[in-house]
Amino acid sequence: MHYFIAILAPIFWGSTYSAVALFLGDLSPYWMAVWRALPAGLLMLMISRRGLPLSLPRMLAVSFFNIAAFFLLLFIAAYRLPGAIAGTLGATLPLVLMLLQWLTEGKRPQPKLLGLAILGLFGVVLLLNPSSNIDWIGAGAMLLATFFVAQSTLWMKRWEAKDIFGLTAWQLVLGGIMLIPFAWLFAGPPQAITMEAVPGLAWVILLNTAIGYWAYIRSITVLGPNRQSIIMFLNPLTAVTLGVLWINETLQPLQWLGIAMILASLVLMKLTDKRKSQSPKQAVAATPR
């Protein structure tokens, strides 16, 4: 059940490209960031009706890193990079997480998880087939966005908020509010929403964002940040698969090999966890050095 919930985040997030292509192409991407975060968070707050699950400084920090700054940098990268290169750089999340844990907490990367992260990353490279023409400003923005997500992920794991639903809701509300002045500055006043955009907005707000972010944040606490970050390789896999099914895109043999490598990294991780759960000895956690 934990893994089923964990895969909801990358699957729903991987649907963003198709939802935009089919329903939301006429909307400003900056205001789309606001519409993606703020309504979802307000809806979740109406359901939970709870106060801040963390202190205000911590809540503002994770909201800025995980929502506001991430969305802004993501759009900078989207304007300056081909989608394949942006997706490949974003797939460095497991390695960035392990590096941060090593530098800030003294936890050396587990060899098995490090190997699975590298295997999945190579799979993403083959799947997305990035070209060699790289805009270094865009690449820097994407890597910085990945760093912000990794750092906020470690904060959420370390601070251990008990109300995961509330933590998700408040992040989306605060992050959405932070995004409004940037959207107004770069795109002007918000556009009117057409009826054609309503299905796409409903999908992005309810499933892509509300359920997707709740599933991601919950899985950080249940499975751990490293395993959840490897599961996130399903994000580009979902995006490519939906592109084939809904937008008539085609795959080349190397892309099929990339899909196989991504799936292999996930299956091997699940098998490793299963062996650990059946072993009478518990693995000893890495201690700071």
What DSSP assignment string belongs to 61-90? Answer: HHHIIIIIHHHHHHHHHHHHS-HHHHHHHH
- The answer to whether 217 and 10 are in contact (CB under 8 A) is no
- The answer to whether 227 and 5 are in contact (CB under 8 A) is no
Helix (H, G, I), strand (E, B) or coil at 2: helix
pTM: 0.83
Helix (H, G, I), strand (E, B) or coil at 13: helix
Q: For residue 132, what pLDDT is reported?
A: 56
Q: For residue 264, what pLDDT is reported?
A: 92
Q: What is the pLDDT along the chain (289 residues), one digit of tens a residue?
A: 788 899 998 888 888 777 877 888 788 888 988 998 999 999 999 998 889 999 999 999 999 999 999 888 887 877 676 666 767 777 888 888 888 888 888 888 888 888 988 988 888 888 887 765 677 888 888 889 889 999 999 999 888 888 999 999 999 999 999 999 999 998 899 988 889 889 989 999 999 999 999 999 999 888 888 888 888 888 888 888 887 777 677 778 888 898 899 889 888 887 776 655 555 444 333 333 3
Residue 275 burial (CB < 10 Å; 0-12/13-18/19+)? exposed
- Residue from 285, 270, 283, 189 nearest 3 by CA: 270
- Between CA 160 and CA 174 the distance in angstroms is 19
To the nearest 10°, report the CA torsion of 25, 28, 31, 36.
20
Look up residue 236 and give its amino acid: P
- Between CA 230 and CA 174 the distance in angstroms is 27
- Between CA 72 and CA 10 the distance in angstroms is 20
Q: Where do the domains of the chain lie?
A: 2-274
Long-range contacts of 247-253 (CB under 8 A, 24+ apart): 247/18, 247/21, 247/22, 252/129
CA 50: distance to chain centroid?
A: 25
Look up residue 242 and give its amino acid: L
Query: Phi and psi for 126 in degrees, rounded to 5?
Result: -70, -40
To the nearest 10°, report the CA torsion of 96, 97, 99, 103.
130
**Alpha-carbon dihedral sign for residues 50, 54, 57, 58:** negative
Look up residue 205 and give its amino acid: I
Q: For residue 87, what pLDDT is reported?
A: 72
Which residues contact residue 189 at a Cβ distance below 8 angstroms, ignoring those fewer than 6 apart? Answer: none
Q: For residue 288, what pLDDT is reported?
A: 35
